[in-house]
Structure 1
Amino acid sequence: MTTAPLPIPTPPAAPTPAAAPRPAPAVLPSDPTAAVRPYQDYVYAYPHKTAYRPLPGRPALREIWRAEPKDALALYLHIPFCEVRCGFCNLFTRVGAPGDLTTRYLDALDRQAAAVRDALGDEQPVRFAAAAFGGGTPTFLEAAELERLCDIAEHRMGAPLGTVPLSVEASPATATADRLAVLAARGATRISLGVQSFAEDEARAAVRPQRRADVEAALGRIRATGVPVLNIDLIYGIDGQTPASWRASLDAALAWEPEELYLYPLYVRPLTGLSGRTAVDDPAWDAQRLALYRQGRDHLLERGYTQTSMRMFRRAGAAAQGPDDHACQTDGMIGLGCGARSYTAGLHYSFDYAVGMPQVRAIIDDYTATRDFSTARHGRRIDADEARRRHLLQSLLQAEGLATAEYRARFGTEPQADFPAALAAFAARGWLDEAAAPDRLRLGPEGLAHSDAVGPALFSAKVRADMAAYETR
């Protein structure tokens, strides 16, 4: 198995109490001139897994999916292994896979896929419109194991790899030629490389040891595959980072002409390698990150990239991954693996969630020993109000915003009538685009810059309370 490119430094000690409560997402102050923390929560899905709870009676997947449209599903396969755990990472993953753990994990993934595909039935057409391998680090798997992962997606689940977009996450150390060759041959249309910083001292500060030469070599191997979309992830707000070093990382990434670039603000979360940091709520750190965000945004826009969300930028004229008619607001998701979530219109579900290493290992061990995957274990019911919130939130956090006609057609109401206080607060702060067409509700540049405050402001009181009550472990 691939080893880390540099000796792994000992990260700062994590908080001892495993039951430290998660801070409740903040509500926007009623005074539009009052300061707002711009980095409250990265809302990549709503509701967050910390709002999930054990599902009474463990509902059968066949019943969950019986009445759901299944003609434009997304498929996500989760690999919970990494060669090193970055200091900022609170994803569901563990370092290393001793013995035959990856084999046992893929065995369980295959059993789960068979059970899920059976539960989807054949009464209605089942079609996958997009697929992704995430983690963790999918390319932690050896080449033959990646072949098996593709077989599970294609032959067990019926996702036609090579026809639908397939995105795969990788790290520099695991983006080896043999692994990349498998992914390219099986139809990968996008490889995302987590670089975070091209400066070696910044990478060490983020507890992500890597050599610049190894990063560049990995990018060269990805480009050699001919996979049409290369994405590079970068992080701003790392200790010791300056506008000059941030510009240097941006230019190093741009030298590869990536089709996509993701710019992530650094977050420090409980039980991660950086959680000993004391400046989590430091206004000066917020100001630094916001300034670096604006610098990065403007630099990419000047270089011909289009902003599609706060984090994502796409190069003008870049090749498309392929047809993708999956809409996260309305279409279902099938997640396979113990760190994946699935969702229907009325229920989001997954396995248990943890960040701490002992708990993550226990959940993975439980998953690999599971024989019956026909029911949902943990999740959250989505009522009409939450469905409206989710639709508005997931649309508004994209640069194109919300088509109000689509919202009206789905819910029979107007977003301004359903969420008058929140939208008025956004408008009062200058976050909404006043130049948008009458049938379009979208954020302006400052609204996008404050996406991590906009999203949490739309959380329901119940989700807010359940997230705050979740005991981090």
Structure 2
Amino acid sequence: MSHLQTLLAETPYLAYSYAYPHKSAYRPFARPLPLRQIWEPEDRTDLSLYLHLPFCEYRCGFCNLFTLSNPEDDLAAQYLQQLRIEARQVRDQLPDFHFSQLAIGGGTPTYLEPDELAQLFDILQRELNTSPAQFPCSLEASPATLTAEKVALIHDQGIDRLSLGIQSFDEQEALSIGRPQKRREIVEALELVRNVGIPTLNLDLIYGADGQTVDSFRDSLQQALAFQPEELYLYPLYVRPLTGLGRKPQQWDDHRLTLYRAGRDFLFERGYTQHSLRMFRRTDAIQPHDTQYCCQTDGMIGLGCGARSYTSRIHYSSEYAVGRSGVAAIIAHYLEQEPESFASAHYGVELDREEQQRRFLIMSLLQTTGLSRDFYSRTFGGDVLNHFPDLRELEEYGLARITADTIILTPAGLERSDTIGPWLYSEQVLQRMETFQCH
């Protein structure tokens, strides 16, 4: 039995391959790597900029992101001061960057008070000569943290995409996954966003909660569609170590595949197209910007504790943790750093040629547009099937269609994205992830 056969016999939900390698494969560098040295050989004309705000009003039971719930009163203010210093240092090291898109995430950026949000945008303008109105800009939010003042500020800054974490319109379902929220808060937040006219509204929903049924999932989707979101992300529930749900001894009934299929078909019937296992976009929705950014080949500069940066060869960030004490310690260390420390990368991973190829393959294949064999060949100087001959197994099992031009997952393959992604991880990366000590 091949390795793929073995994996296909297990749950379809092995790991969410949103980035490769995962941060759990990062380690301290033997010596600090100067940013100028890292970025000197890179094309800096189409970079993505990411700002991380690691604060939330509470930590959801399923969350393994780098965030601290209910921080001390002045911690956010201290954080913004240090973020400004970091941004200034990065600008001085890389004065000739050009951004093609901006994302502000966390955590929950809208946890910040209005004056703090204004400071965040001031950092972009003063330190990076950048404004959200210049290119596609997405900001993450939660219903409980949105107010009319914050939404107006976000709109006035030119942010054209707001991503709202809903998870479920059913209060009991949300509570079962460690997210105490009221439906009234959700509706009020959505009305605020729609009334102000932000061009793209994305809603995140989760399937697989204890007690959730096909009917209740469809009901949440129906309530979401009442606000005509341009995008929806449907996330399978993962119960991970050190999260609230991961600490409970409860056994979970894994009916996620059934729920996924029901949700997918529901959205298809209502005019949405699928772009990945998780992402659905309304067919008639107009993209507010045309961007040439390509995550397979273009780099990203991440600012803030918990942000990831990557070039073609070096991925780096602050250290990673999930538990409160570990996250708090990493944030405290970030706040203590001297300005010159931000001129170098201290923690991350170096990708050799094969790892670069794997990343390109994974980031391409798990999209509905699939992998362009010509694009891969022009990037790496060889055919992807020669470099990764095991890909032909995907066609044997009906998981992909391979032509002279592309490799595209079938519907059966797409719903196995969280199996196919980990199947393509290298042994070296898997070993580093397995031996990572998460706190």
Decide which of 277, 302, 308 is 2:269's aligned counterpart: 302
**C-alpha displacement of 1:370:** 1.3
**1:432 maps to what in 2?**
400
3-state SS, counterpart of residue 150 of structure 1: helix
**1:267 maps to what in 2?**
238
Task: For CA contacts below 8 A with separation 6 or more, give which structure has more relative contact order.
Answer: 1
**C-alpha displacement of 1:415:** 0.9
3-state SS, counterpart of residue 390 of structure 1: helix
Deviations 1:2-50 (A, max 9, x none): xxxxxxxxxxxxxxxxxxxxxxxxx963548961320000011100000
Deviations 1:342-361 (A, max 9, x none): 00011000011000100100
Check conservation: 1:51, 1:467, Cα contact below 8 A.
Answer: yes
Deviations 1:250-298 (A, max 9, x none): 1011111100000000000011000134467x7x51xx10000000001
**2:375 maps to what in 1?**
406
Check conservation: 1:29, 1:36, Cα contact below 8 A.
Answer: no
* Count, aligned residues: 437
**1:12 maps to what in 2?**
none
- Structure 1 gaps, min length 5: 1-26
Check conservation: 1:131, 1:159, Cα contact below 8 A.
Answer: no
- Structure 2 gaps, min length 5: none
- Give the RMSD, CA atoms, in angstroms: 1.5
Decide which of 129, 137, 143 is 1:172's aligned counterpart: 143
Once residues 321 and 462 of structure 1 are traced to their aligned partners in structure 2, the CA distance between those partners, rounded to angstroms, is 41
What does residue range 13-412 of structure 1 map to in structure 2 within 5 Å?
29=3, 31=5, 35-122=9-96, 126-278=97-249, 285=254, 288-371=255-338, 372=340, 373-412=342-381
3-state SS, counterpart of residue 110 of structure 1: helix
Once residues 298 and 328 of structure 1 are traced to their aligned partners in structure 2, the CA distance between those partners, rounded to angstroms, is 28
Deviations 1:215-244 (A, max 9, x none): 011000011121100000000000010111
Instruction: Give the TM-score of the pair, scaled to structure 1.
Output: 0.90
Which amino acid in the other structure matches residue 362 of structure 2?
A: L
Once residues 426 and 331 of structure 2 are traced to their aligned partners in structure 1, the CA distance between those partners, rounded to angstroms, is 31
Check conservation: 1:154, 1:161, Cα contact below 8 A.
Answer: no
Once residues 233 and 354 of structure 1 are traced to their aligned partners in structure 2, the CA distance between those partners, rounded to angstroms, is 23
**2:411 maps to what in 1?**
445
3-state SS, counterpart of residue 313 of structure 1: strand
**C-alpha displacement of 1:433:** 2.9
**1:22 maps to what in 2?**
none
3-state SS, counterpart of residue 173 of structure 1: helix
Check conservation: 1:28, 1:36, Cα contact below 8 A.
Answer: no
**1:13 maps to what in 2?**
none
Q: Which moved more, 1:319-328 or 1:351-360?
A: 319-328
**C-alpha displacement of 1:377:** 1.1
Once residues 266 and 30 of structure 1 are traced to their aligned partners in structure 2, the CA distance between those partners, rounded to angstroms, is 23
3-state SS, counterpart of residue 194 of structure 1: strand
Instruction: Give the TM-score of the pair, scaled to structure 2.
Output: 0.97
**C-alpha displacement of 1:153:** 2.0
3-state SS, counterpart of residue 376 of structure 1: strand
Which amino acid in the other structure matches residue 129 of structure 2?
A: G
**C-alpha displacement of 1:180:** 1.1
Decide which of 418, 422, 432 is 1:456's aligned counterpart: 422
Structure number having the greater strand percentage: 2
3-state SS, counterpart of residue 266 of structure 2: helix
Which amino acid in the other structure matches residue 424 of structure 1?
A: R
3-state SS, counterpart of residue 145 of structure 2: coil
3-state SS, counterpart of residue 442 of structure 1: strand
Check conservation: 1:180, 1:222, Cα contact below 8 A.
Answer: yes
Once residues 246 and 41 of structure 1 are traced to their aligned partners in structure 2, the CA distance between those partners, rounded to angstroms, is 22
Decide whether aligned partners of structure 1 residues 320 and 30 sit closer, same or farther in structure 2, where only a CA change above 3 A counts: closer
3-state SS, counterpart of residue 162 of structure 1: helix
**C-alpha displacement of 1:61:** 0.8
Which amino acid in the other structure matches residue 134 of structure 1?
A: G
| Percent sequence identity over aligned pairs | 49
3-state SS, counterpart of residue 357 of structure 2: helix
Check conservation: 1:33, 1:429, Cα contact below 8 A.
Answer: no
Matched, 1:467 2:433: yes
Which amino acid in the other structure matches residue 143 of structure 2?
A: P
